[in-house]
Amino acid sequence: MAYAEEINKTIEALGGAFNEFKKTNDERLTTLEKGDALDGLVEGKLKSINDKLSELEKLKGQFEELETKANRPGSTFGGKQQNAEYEKAFDQFVRKGKTDQIDDLKTKTMQTGNDEDGGYAVPEQLDRQIIDFGRDQVVMRSVCASQTLSTPEFKKLRKEGRATSGWVGETDPRPQTDTPKLKTITPTWGEIYANPEATQTMLDDAFFNVQQFLVGEVGEEFSEQEEIAFTRGDGNDKPKGLFAYPRTLETDDKRAFGKLQYLDTATAKLEADDLLKLLYALKRKYRTGARWMMNSTSVGQVRLMKDNDGNYLWSPGLQAGEPSKLLGYSLTENEQVDDIAAKKAPISFGNFKRAYLILDRIGTRVLRDPYTNKPFVSFYTTKRVGNMLLDSNAVKVLQIKAG
């Protein structure tokens, strides 16, 4: 347990901060019930503790992630599956611009319709490290289903309608039953790019790790763009975000596939009952593995909420590996989700793995450019990513009613 001590210290601090938060908020509520004016110092203190809770939650998650990686078998860089010969040739291409070794290996990967400017495929191990970096950094990757492909020709069949059934006596005739129709659904693809730069002096340094440089620089750029696309992308030359699909008030038995159901809050203000209503709008079969999603500002607001018995709806994870929860379900923060405002949809609840699939096409390509921005060497890097809506019944969205 390499990080056990840090995790336990963070959990202790988290528990203490939550107790202080409850005490301060209870004082605030008592003041409001009496009809007295709120002290600005109390409001400021409450916000400060709320921010501290968020920081401690994040820190606990980081330590737990490091602990998981440290205990993961084969966590060291490289591996038997890595093509050492190609890796060496790619290293020479990045450092010196030499392409003869890669050309000899016949592994050049071209852009469609532009054979001369296609760049070179990164080693498979590096390709997977870039994808893994995204899983660690992109919230939507951490909660949704994902699949890595070697071809863009990917489809799924979805049943429309249900097979009918019923009861009959032992000798009664068996009436003909309806069968569901099968419909093909295809992904929405896009090509993402990054253009990190390094000096030739850095590249000439034997201790400069080329692969770590590309994973870090490219992975960071890709992650920022992917979070936006998978959350609210419009589907034009990019994946279509889960919350970009049309929304309707229609229930599951009436709503067409491809539309998400939303529920309006009872008033223009978010209340605890609105969260309960959203939770139970999701069918029971989806609740196993379900979670909440909202941005950090919304998390700060729901932390203040209590049920009718005076219990806080939000609770911190005070055990190693245990997440913070809202109404008994895990909560994921996604800063690309709407703020709480009229006609916005700031909170969702559902089984995201059953709702949304993220697709990665193996074959990240790098084009080396030492000329455009001298003295820097640019590495124009591209990758194909896509998405597919699997089940539009698996996620429900809460919309704030207009005042």
pLDDT at residue 363, as a whole number: 84
Residues of the chain with pLDDT under 70: 1-2, 72-83, 105-118, 161-166, 174, 176-180
pLDDT at residue 164, as a whole number: 59
pLDDT at residue 184, as a whole number: 86
Q: Which residues contact 398 (CB under 8 A, 6 or more apart)?
A: 262, 263, 265, 270, 274, 275, 278, 345, 346, 347, 348, 349
CB 260 within 8 A of CB 246: yes
Distance CA 133, CA 136 (A): 5
| Residue 235 DSSP label | S
Measuring CA to CA, how many Å separate 114 from each of 118, 152, 177? 6, 18, 54
pTM attached to this predicted model? 0.82
pLDDT digits (tens, 9 = 90+) for 64-85: 877 777 776 544 434 343 467 8
Q: What percent of the chain has pLDDT over 70?
A: 90
φ, ψ dihedrals at 131, nearest 5°:
-65, -45
